[in-house]
């Protein structure tokens, strides 16, 4: 069995084709026969034809994805789309894409999208011809391979979604801590921040305490594609709080490292269940490496948040310890080795300290007062961004996600 998919065109005439190719006496052949014999109202399958009275080979069935409501809709399927699919299949045989000796052995099941708003028959034909041919090529070449899928899964976007779901696959990032108690000030700052993938928005603890976890939803309205962290610092009933934040579309939840191992693991388990990031906040935790080592490897946090501890740095220096990998936030690289995840750092960070944090292994720097207390939040954020690369997709070409030649 071969599986292929392609989307071609634009506007109401856009074409999207999903198809299966396989032997007549196999599962695809069974589906082919069932499709022709078990009709469904509004989705009546039909054979693709080169012209009336001349089916294509391999025999191909077309299944309309959108309900055919009237004769006008039916004409689009039985006219330009039916011929487009049929000719694309025949051309694939002629060009050697489909082996000629398989023309009588294989069948093709093609699901075709035709919008009820489509009007231009020429475009319907052209787009469906191209989409069918491309879907067949992809199916028989095994496109995409798993490496392509894994590379694209966090980079690609879906046009119909209207937003991009951000994953933290290419650090560093700047987390803007919105530690405010005023919703209007929050909205003003968010609107002024640069529209950059490297900026993460944190619903700070003061905001959550005053307005509830619903403030995450308010931030989402202002920044639909932003990566939003709910700084809950949950200590107990973590599962409930994590679910509440996830229901408001939070991308990550901060869990207090002061909680018991059981409560931390339960909260992390819930983030895994909800498909969001877990952040283990080590504020006031005496020995965070010991705390992490107590966790079940199955419930390691995605991100560990370390706070600046100048006293620790001075103490280690006085003891003559090697400080090559040690910072005021501790040994960041060691923490990352223990968890296999990312490390965030916080505590009076200025743009000048950003380089030090990155050199020591930080993936995320958290800035609060420097940005939210500034008269120009955009400029303040750009002071940090100047120490970071361009956004991961900044140089990406729109069509770059397709096959390489």
pLDDT of residue 177: 97
CB 354 within 8 A of CB 315: no
Residue 157 lies in a domain: no
What SS3 class is residue 352?
helix
pLDDT of residue 404: 67
Residue 324: is its pLDDT beyond 60?
no
Query: Residue 155: inside a domain, yes or no?
Result: no
Cα 218 to Cα 206: distance, rounded to the nearest angstrom? 15
With b meaning 16 or more CB within 10 Å and e meaning fewer, what string describes 203-213?
A: bbbbbbeebeb
Please work out, in degrees rounded to the nearest 5, the angle formed at the alpha carbon of residue 26 by the alpha carbons of 20 and 30.
Answer: 75
Task: Assess contact for 231 and 254: CB atoms under 8 A.
Answer: yes
| Domain co-membership, 185 together with 139 | no
pLDDT over 70 at 302, yes or no: yes
**Beta carbons within 8 Å of 282's beta carbon, 6+ residues apart:** 257, 288, 291, 304, 305, 306, 307
Instruction: Report the CATH number at residue 92.
Output: 3.30.230.60
136, part of any domain:
yes
- The tens digit of pLDDT for each residue in 151-192 reads 888 887 777 777 888 899 999 999 999 999 999 999 999 999
**Is 152 domain-assigned?**
no
DSSP state of 334: H
Classify 183 as helix, strand or coil: helix
Residue 248 has pLDDT above 70, yes or no: yes
Task: Looking at the structure, tell me whether residues 312 and 366 fall in a common domain.
Answer: yes
For residue 235, the domain's CATH number is 3.20.20.70
- What pTM value is reported for the model? 0.83
Q: SS3 of 48, please?
A: coil
Please tell me the distance from the alpha carbon of residue 133 to that of residue 149, in angstroms, as a whole number.
21
Looking at the fold, whether 242 and 314 belong to one and the same domain comes out as yes
Torsion angle of alpha carbons 381, 384, 387, 389, nearest 10°? -40
8 Å CB contact between 164 and 50 = no
In a domain, 167, yes or no: no
Task: State the pairing for strand pair 2-8/15-23.
Answer: antiparallel
User: Looking at the structure, do residues 189 and 297 belong to the same domain, yes or no?
Assistant: yes
If one counts the domains in the chain, the total is 2
Mean pLDDT computed over 203-211: 95
Cβ atoms of residues 188 and 159 within 8 Å = no
252 occurs within a structural domain: yes
Task: Note whether 132 and 215 are same-domain residues.
Answer: no
Domain residue limits at 63: 2-143
Q: Based on the domain organization, do 116 and 45 belong to the same domain?
A: yes
Yes or no: say if 235 and 262 are a contact pair by the CB < 8 Å rule: no
Better-predicted residue by pLDDT, 44 or 326? 44
Q: Decide if pLDDT at 394 tops 90.
A: no
Q: Which residues are catalytic?
A: 16
Q: Are residues 120 and 239 in the same domain?
A: no
- 321 and 270 in one domain? yes
318, 300 contact by CB (below 8 A): no
Same domain, 195 and 127: no
Encode 128-151 in three state secondary structure. HHHHHHHHHHHHHHCCCCHHHHHH
Structure tokens that stand for 366 in this block: 């958290």
Residue pLDDT, tens place only, 251-281:
999 999 999 999 999 999 999 999 999 999 9
Q: Please check whether residues 99 and 182 belong to one and the same domain.
A: no
What's the rounded Cα separation, in Å, for the pair 53 and 62? 16
- Tell me how crowded residue 147 is: count the other CB atoms within 10 A of its CB: 8
| Three-class secondary structure of residue 63 per DSSP | strand
> Token pair for residue 187?
């909205």
Domain match, 272 and 135 both: no
> Measured between alpha carbons, how far is 193 from 386 in angstroms, rounded to an integer?
14
Residue 109 has pLDDT above 90, yes or no: yes
DSSP 398: G
Report the distance separating Cα 46 and Cα 227, nearest Å: 45
Mean pLDDT of 235-239: 81
Structural domain includes residue 394? no
Say if residue 274 is in the same domain as residue 136.
Answer: no
């Amino acid at each position: 069995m071969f599986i292929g998919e392609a989307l071609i065109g634009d506007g109401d005439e856009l074409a999207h084709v999903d198809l299966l190719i396989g032997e007549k006496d196999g599962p695809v052949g069974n589906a082919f026969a069932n499709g022709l014999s078990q009709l469904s109202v509004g989705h009546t399958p039909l054979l693709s034809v080169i012209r009336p009275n001349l089916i294509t080979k391999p025999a191909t069935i077309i299944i309309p994805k959108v309900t055919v409501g009237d004769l006008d809709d039916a004409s689009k399927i039985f006219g330009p789309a039916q011929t487009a699919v049929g000719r694309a299949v025949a051309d694939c045989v002629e060009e050697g894409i489909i082996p000629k000796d398989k023309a009588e052995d294989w069948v093709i099941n093609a699901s075709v999208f035709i919008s009820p708003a489509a009007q231009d028959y020429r475009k319907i034909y052209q787009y469906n011809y191209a989409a069918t041919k491309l879907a067949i090529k992809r199916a028989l070449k095994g496109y995409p391979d798993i490496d392509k899928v894994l590379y694209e899964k966090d980079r690609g976007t879906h046009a119909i979604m209207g937003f991009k779901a951000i994953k933290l696959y290419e650090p560093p990032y700047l987390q803007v801590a919105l530690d405010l108690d005023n919703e209007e000030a929050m909205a003003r700052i968010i609107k002024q921040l640069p529209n950059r993938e490297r900026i993460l928005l944190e619903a700070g603890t003061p905001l959550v305490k005053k307005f509830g976890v619903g403030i995450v939803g308010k931030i989402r309205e202002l920044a639909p594609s932003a990566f939003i962290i709910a700084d809950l610092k949950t200590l107990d009933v973590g599962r409930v709080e994590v679910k509440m934040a996830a229901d408001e579309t939070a991308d990550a939840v901060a869990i207090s490292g002061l909680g018991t191992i059981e409560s931390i693991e339960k909260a992390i388990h819930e983030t895994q269940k909800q498909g969001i990031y877990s952040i283990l906040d080590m504020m006031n935790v005496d020995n965070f490496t010991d705390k992490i080592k107590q966790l079940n490897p199955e419930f390691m946090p995605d991100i560990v948040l370390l706070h600046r501890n100048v006293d620790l740095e001075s103490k280690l220096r006085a003891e003559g310890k090697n400080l090559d990998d040690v910072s005021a936030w501790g040994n960041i690289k060691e923490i990352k080795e223990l968890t296999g995840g990312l490390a965030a750092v916080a505590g009076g960070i200025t743009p000048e300290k950003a380089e030090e944090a990155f050199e020591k292994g930080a993936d995320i720097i958290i800035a609060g007062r420097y940005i939210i207390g500034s008269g120009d939040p955009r400029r303040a954020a750009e002071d940090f961004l100047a120490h970071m690369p361009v956004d991961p997709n900044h140089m990406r070409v729109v069509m770059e996600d397709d096959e390489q030649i």
